[in-house]
Every structure is written in C-alpha cells, then in structure tokens.
Chains A and B, each alone.
Chain A
Amino acid sequence: MQNTYKYGFHKPENYVYKSKKGLDRGVVEYISKRKNEPLWMQQFRIRALGQFYHKPLPLWGGDLGGINFDNIFYYISPTDKIVSRWEDLPEDIRDTYDRIGIPEAEKKFLSGVSAQYDSEVVYKSIKSMLSKKGVVFLDMDSGLREFPEIVKQYFGTVIPSGDNKFAALNSSVWSGGSFVYVPKGVRVDLPLQAYFRINAANMGQFERTLIIAEEGSFVSYVEGCTAPIYTTDSLHSAVVEIIVKKGARVRYTTIQNWSTNVYNLVTKRARVEEEGVMEWVDGNIGSRLSMKYPSVYLVGRKARGEMLSIAYAGAGQHQDVGAKAVHLAPETTSQIISKSISRGGGRTSYRGLVQIMMGATKSKSKVVCDALILDEASRSDTYPTMDIDEQDVSIEHEATVSKIGDEQLFYLLSRGIGKAQAESMIVNGFIEPIVKELPLEYAVELNRLIQLQMEGSVG
C-alpha cells in the first residue's frame, strides 16, 4: 500500500483507559457509568444498541464490507480531565496539534478552540465575551453534565437513535463532540471551531454534536479533521443535530480530510423553524468511503436551507455524498450546489433528495451538480431524487459531468503555463464558488490540498 498522506504520522498511544475491542451491553454500560451519566442517557444508549443490532447495513451507496464491528475500540479516554490552557495539555498531544497548526489558529484570534483528541475533548478555550452573552460552547459530555435539562429536551429529537444503523451505533457509544447553545437574539460573530483527530489503530470516533440556536440568533460552527494514517481500517460515525428556531441562522462548515483508510459514515440533520436559515458547507477530501448527506427539515413557513458540497476522490476513494432537503411547510426554499472531482480511479457519487410534502405550497428548490472526471480510470455518478406531492411548487435540478475543457486547457497552455499547473488552476476555478464560502484559513488549506493532489497526477 502506497501512502502519500501528508499528515500520516502518529504518536505512540498513551491512554489512561482503553476499553476492550467490540461492542456489547457491558461496554455501553461501562461508557455511561464512567461518564457518570443520568439514567435516561444510559437507557437511551442501551435502547440504541438494540436498534443497532436490529438495523441492516444499507444496501445502497458504498461498499461497507470492510468494516468489522468486533474489531473496534468503542471508547478511549486520553486524559482524565479537561484542561483549558494550551500549556497544560500532555506533551505528545500538544505535539500532534502543533503539526496540524492549531497554535497558529489560536494566534489568529479564533473565538474558541475545542480540540478533540480521540474520544474526548481535552482542550478548550472560550473567550469570555461568549460566556457573557450566554453562549454555551462545551464538549458534549460537559454539556450533558452542566445543562442536563436542555440536553434532555433536544437530544435525539432531530435524529432519533433508530434513524439508521450508524446513527444507532453513535447513539449507543457516543463520546465527545460539541454542545452549542445560543440564546435568543444573540449573534456570535466569530466562527466556533473544533478540531478532530483520530490517533489509535482501529479507533472509531463517535462524536455527537448538538447545536441549538434560539429565536433570531446566529452562529457559525466550523469542524475540521485530519487523521494520522494506519494500515487497518478505521470507522468514524458522527451524529450532528441542529435546531434552528424562528428567524435564527446557523452555518455549519466541515472540511473532512481523514486518511484514506477511514470509513466516514455520518448523519447530519437540521430542523429549521419559521424564517430560519440553515447552511451546510461540506467538504470531503479524505477517507476511504464517505457516506454523508447533510439534511434540512424545513418545518416552519419560509424556512430556508442551503447546502454547498464539494468532494474529491483519488485512488481507492469513494465519496458518496450529497444533501437532502425535506419541505414540510409553505414557502420554504432550498438550494443545493455540489461540485465533485474524481481522479486516479476515484469515484464520486452525488446522492440527494428533494422532498415536497403535502401542504408545502409555494416551495422552491434548486439543485445543481457539477462533476469533473480527470482520467479514464475514474467514475462519477449522480443520484438525485425528487419527490413532489404538491402542485404549486418550483423544483429544478441540473447536473453535468465532464472532463477539463480542451479549450480552457489550450488557452492556458498557449500562455506558457505547464499542463499540471493549468489543470490545477482549472480545478481550483471549478470549486471556487464553494471555497469562497469557507473561512480564510480553510480556503487556503483546501486550495493547497487540491494543488498537491493535482501535482501528483502528472508522471
């Protein structure tokens, strides 16, 4: 196996506790007990475990045959307590973060860093400004401890534990993730950021994120991940639930760059109430197989969902990603823009759904998918589904699959630009509409990553 993954280093494992491999009721009870959780959460986990056993693996999408559920650690805790100062972090963890540039991010006055190292959030800093406004930005475990009532009210309401096999798995063994609560009318001007990292062979990450934006509030949450490389397969199965109340706006940005042995099977969904706006910005660069379809359930009049999705599949990769918009109320609107690139035998699939339920009159939806195929060995698919139960609506879908335009390439070559550079310029131009929506440091990183990948494509 040839690995050229840039962040493919890993530190010796040094864990306080490591549960045994595999999953049974004992492991689930142990996790819950160790975290000192209330009874309802323990029961929620156990019920979800039953649903996990019961649900079949999806028959569509990518090849999930490589996952061995008995060969995974479901819980690892790297340190016992959460530290709030960078200097207090254990040295090897700090070292890992140094290599992916977290201190730089700090220097850039990011509003709060909650960094996930394996299963638990070990480092977090929240600017006092946020706390003064009443904004809560905690890891999920602390959130459950400090705000049990809010968590109980919303947890599992957007994505029930039995939603799908992987949501059930996450519900039974979840650990870490973020809890964000924005009070009525509060605008959080700087994006909240969390970094994720897997650092144990066969370690699955099951983080759980819950974001609640009260009436008229605004928050932007950024999640980025990069994982060290291992030769055995890893599983990442997160659940993200977002509640957008009346007139609120939430933007959730992800750049996923797992190493190419990770199965990334994530359920992300937002419930959007009257005049609320949910924006998903989703970038998939890494992983062996991603199956991820950020969704909006538009339940209130004039609610709006926007999804921007970008996928890159290189050798051995399959990005089965897309977006879903379910219109349940009148005058709701949604827009999905997807761009994908496949190269070196990679496969990208756009899989999406637009559903207009009875009663969702005057709804509008527009879906645009563009795919680039860079060589003969690669593949691209488009599987959009539109299900319309109401007459007074306007639904549009368009998709295009093509290679890099000969005319574009010729133009650049005629200006004396090398072929590899010209191709990477064209690809960067292709993804530009989405990249410009990203925070600056992410945009820079994404452009650089695409450039690196493209340079590898010659010779």
Chain B
Amino acid sequence: MNIQILQNTTKTIIQEIHGGKAVYEYTVTERAQLALLFVVAQKVDVEIVVRVCLTGRGARARIIGLVAGRGSQIIRIHTEQIHEAPDTTSNLLVKAALYDQVQFSYDGVIRVEPLAQKTDAYQKNENLLLSPHAHARSDPVLEILANDVRCTHGSTTGKPSEDQLWYLMSRGITRSTATQLLIEGFFERAIMTISDTIHQEQIRKSLWQII
C-alpha cells in the first residue's frame, strides 16, 4: 500500500493495525504535510514496516505510533523516515506500554540522502515496562549523508515513575489507579496532538481495551 500526499495538501491519517505482517508506505511531495498516527492495540502478533518518504522540497511529516501489548504477543515495528529532498521535516514518536510477557522490538531509521540539505528530523521511542517479564528492544538508527542538517533521536525505557506514583498516592489514590492514570497520561500527551476530537476518541477507545 502506498499513499501519496499531493502537493500543497495536508492530510491526517489514523491507521489501526490489526495484526499480521504489513507494509505501509507514504510519499510526501512538495510542500505537502502528513500527520500519521498508527495504533497497535490488538492481542495478536504484529510485524509492520512504516515507511515515509519525503520526496518534494518543503515536505513535512509527523508520525506517531502508539503501542499497547498484553499476553505473549510479539510486536515488531520498523519505521523509516527517508529524506530525499531539501528543506524537509519529519518528526516521529513511538510510545509503547508493555504488559505480561510481551516482546516488543522497535527499529527505526532516519536516512538523509545527500541532496536533502536543511533536513530537520527527529525520532523518539519511549517504552514503559509494566511487567518484569516484558521485553523491549530499541534500535533507532541515523544514516546521514548530507551535512547541513539537524537530526536527533532519543530512546527511553523504564517503568512508571515512583515519584509520580507517590505524588498521586499521597492524594489518596490507590496504587493501581495511580498506575493506570500514569499510563493513560503517557499516551494522552501524544493523542492530544491530533486536533480532531473524533479521531482522538477513536484512538482512546482502541488503546483503553488493552491498558
């Protein structure tokens, strides 16, 4: 599947991933803007490739991936941000909440081709481990062949913050409710960036089944 975002247009795509293997490709052309949000919240194994090519000058892409896993699921997510044209911007955020024995692996590439000067690319992966048996692997890769660029990536993996839990508990909230609130908040920050409230509700509905 390849979706093209035409010149000078703006498009928001919400993609729910239902399991199995799939490749999602998006081409963002001159001065086009893509806001992509994909949600992985089904109790089945998932292996997906999300490829975003910025082929025209001034193209912009914002990519958000939200993952909630339970049981003995295996979730593999591979993302590519390919900058082929100058003055392009991409911003990626993948958030995962992992329960039980879920095995999650994320690998993502930012590739900046020699022609793509003045690229601004960002890639972030945040993983929340909610069970001692959950496993996370994070492989964020940068391949930069142009020089006048700004590319940054970050990755964090950990459990819910004890300080934040303590704060909530000191307000009379039970530990399990407090944990639940923190997990919802973890996703909420990303969901809020989508302007359409109907889309927001749709995303919450899928995620809340799992968390």
Contacts and interface: CB of A to CB of B under 8 A. Distances in A.
Interface of A: 371, 373-376, 378-403
B9 interface: no
A386 B117 CA distance: 29
B138 A386 contact: yes
A402 B149 contact: yes
Nearest to A378: B147
Interface in B107-163: 114, 117, 127, 129-159
B159 A399 contact: no
Instruction: Identify which of B141, B155, B156, B157 gathers the most chain A CB atoms within 10 Å of its CB.
Output: B157
Nearest to B98: A391
Given A388-B136, A391-B159, 17 more contacts: A376-B146, A379-B144, A379-B145, A381-B143, A383-B139, A386-B137, A388-B157, A391-B133, A393-B129, A394-B156, A394-B158, A395-B158, A396-B154, A397-B155, A398-B153, A400-B150, A402-B151
Contact of A401 (B134, B138, B144, B157): B144
A217 to B, nearest CB: 34
Nearest to B122: A400
Interface string B15-34: 00000000000000000000
Contacts of B140: 382, 384, 397, 399
A386 B125 CA distance: 11
B98 to A, nearest CB: 9
18 contacts: A373-B146, A379-B144, A379-B145, A380-B144, A381-B143, A382-B141, A384-B140, A386-B136, A386-B139, A388-B129, A395-B156, A396-B155, A397-B156, A398-B154, A400-B152, A401-B150, A401-B151, A402-B149
Given A384-B155, A386-B155, A391-B131, A403 B141 contact: no
Contacts of B153: 382, 397-399
A386 B96 CA distance: 15
Contact of A387 (B133, B137, B156): B137
Interface of B: 114, 117, 127, 129-159
CB-CB nearest 7 A-B residue pairs: A382-B142, A373-B147, A391-B129, A397-B155, A395-B157, A386-B138, A398-B154
Nearest to A376: B147
A401 B155 contact: no
Contacts of B155: 384, 386, 395-398
Given A376-B147, A403-B148, A385 B157 contact: no
B150 A402 contact: yes
A342 to B, nearest CB: 9
A264 to B, nearest CB: 22
Contacts of B117: 376
B151 A400 contact: yes
A376 B157 contact: no
A397 B114 CA distance: 26
B159 A373 contact: no
A129 to B, nearest CB: 47
Nearest to A364: B158
Contact of A393 (B138, B144, B148, B158): B158
A401 B145 CA distance: 11
A380 B132 contact: no
Nearest to B138: A386
B205 to A, nearest CB: 27
A386 B105 CA distance: 10
Contacts of B159: 391-393
Given A386-B137, A391-B132, A401 B142 contact: yes
A373 B145 CA distance: 9
Contacts of B134: 391
A313 to B, nearest CB: 13
B125 to A, nearest CB: 9
B120 to A, nearest CB: 10
Given A379-B144, A381-B144, A396 B156 contact: yes
Given A383-B141, A394-B158, A402-B150, A376 B114 contact: yes
Contact of B138 (A375, A397, A398): A397
A384 to B, nearest CB: 7
B154 A403 contact: no
Given A391-B132, A392-B159, A393-B158, A381 B142 contact: yes
Given A396-B154, A401-B149, A388 B137 contact: yes
A293 to B, nearest CB: 15
Contacts of A373: 144, 146-147, 149
B133 to A, nearest CB: 8
A287 B159 CA distance: 42
Contacts of B158: 393-395
Contact of B147 (A394, A396, A399, A403): A403
Q: Which of B130, B136, B137, B142 has the most CB of A within 10 A?
A: B142
Nearest to A382: B142
A383 B153 CA distance: 11
A389 B127 CA distance: 12
A319 to B, nearest CB: 14
A400 B157 CA distance: 19
Most chain-A CB neighbours within 10 Å: which of B144, B146, B152, B156? B144
Given A376-B146, A379-B145, A397 B154 contact: yes
A433 B130 CA distance: 36
Nearest to B155: A397
A394 B147 CA distance: 32
Nearest to A395: B157
B44 to A, nearest CB: 23
Nearest to B130: A391
Nearest to B153: A399
Central interface residue in B146, B149, B155, by most chain A CB within 10 Å: B155
A380 B129 contact: no
- Best-surrounded residue of A375, A387, A391, A399 (most CB of chain B within 10 A): A391
